Amino acid sequence: MIRENLATMIGTIAQRPSSVSAVKIDGERAYDRVRAGEKVELPSRQVSITQLDITRIDRVNNQIHIDIEVTCSAGTYIRAIARDCGDALGVGGHLSALRRTRVGAFDLAQSISLSQLKEGEFTPLALVDLAAQTFPVRNLALDEVAELSFGRALTTNPSDEIFAAISGDNRLIALLTNRDERAKPITVFAAAN
């Protein structure tokens, strides 16, 4: 029953964030409202779960402990997966541990330890390289670099994804998104002097 229930969560689903999440309601975090004694019910939002695998099931006394691996879109609440699975099975569910193993294009194999960080034993990623690994790249002409440095929009990107706008001399100039039939900067990294 557990496997079948979790399988129903794969795909694009409507998920209700936990009431103790950091989602803001009228400028105040939901968890602050809950701590103040308010009953908070957040609306569902669309999320995408592409992988949800059970890696281990253990019975400890009267409890079942389940380890899962999840690949999901930004905005997915793993605590909500536990809550919803437990609710569907009529037993309740919560997390005892949560470990993020990937963010964007980066996984644990590319991480460094705290001691390596303290000792400076690492090579930092250049922002332009990070952006190029995370987003599709839009190579810019000189006039486009100038326009973006003033925060101006360009002709549309080839798709509606966020694009890393990179100059001919390999600098990250901006992140762009299509809006109102133009590629508009979300943020500009190389502002005009």
Domain 2-103: assigned CATH number: 3.30.2350.10
Would you call 19 exposed, middle or buried from its count of C-beta atoms within 10 A (0-12, 13-18, 19+)?
Answer: middle
Domain 127-188: assigned CATH number: 2.30.130.10
pLDDT digits (tens, 9 = 90+) for 162-182: 999 999 999 999 999 999 999
pLDDT digits (tens, 9 = 90+) for 109-161: 889 999 999 999 988 889 999 999 889 999 999 999 999 999 999 999 999 99
Torsion of CA 123, 129, 131, 133, to 10 degrees: -100
Whose CA is closest to 77, among 34, 158, 22? 22
Strands of the sheet with 63-72, listed across from one edge? 11-15, 45-60, 63-72
Q: Where do the domains of the chain lie? A: 2-103, 127-188
Region class of 156: left (phi > 0), else alpha (psi between -120 and 50), else beta: beta
DSSP character for 86? H
